[in-house]
């Protein structure tokens, strides 16, 4: 099991590699624990990200999905992990 210091270090490194503002905002929401303040995290994401999420749900409803392994492969390639 990873210790807290190493986990924080890993998170810092990953965040430093991300340039997508919407992803960074989403991470900020999670880390700020806004869900505990009864603020709906969906209110803090951009209209663009909301539209992308809605489109993703529609694609899934149509059966246009990929496996978890394929999604992870795409993420690793995109962020050079």
Mean pLDDT of the 2-16 span: 92
Closest Cα to residue 70, out of 11, 9, 78? 78
Mean pLDDT of the 34-50 span: 77
Structure tokens that stand for 15 in this block = 């965040």
Closest Cα to residue 21, out of 46, 42, 51? 46
Whether this prediction's pTM lies above 0.85 is answered by no
Question: Tell me, what's the pLDDT at 69?
Answer: 94
Residue 42 to residues 47, 50, 60, Cα–Cα distance (Å): 10, 8, 19
Question: Tell me, what's the pLDDT at 38?
Answer: 63
């Amino acid at each position: 099991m990873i210790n807290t210091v190493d986990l924080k270090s890993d998170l810092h490194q990953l965040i430093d590699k991300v340039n997508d503002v919407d992803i960074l905002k989403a991470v900020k929401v999670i880390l700020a624990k806004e869900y505990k303040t009864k603020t709906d995290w969906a209110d803090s994401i951009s209209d663009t990200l909301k539209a992308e999420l809605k489109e993703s749900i529609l694609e899934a409803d149509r059966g246009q999905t990929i496996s978890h392994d394929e999604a992870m492969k795409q993420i690793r390639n995109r962020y050079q992990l």
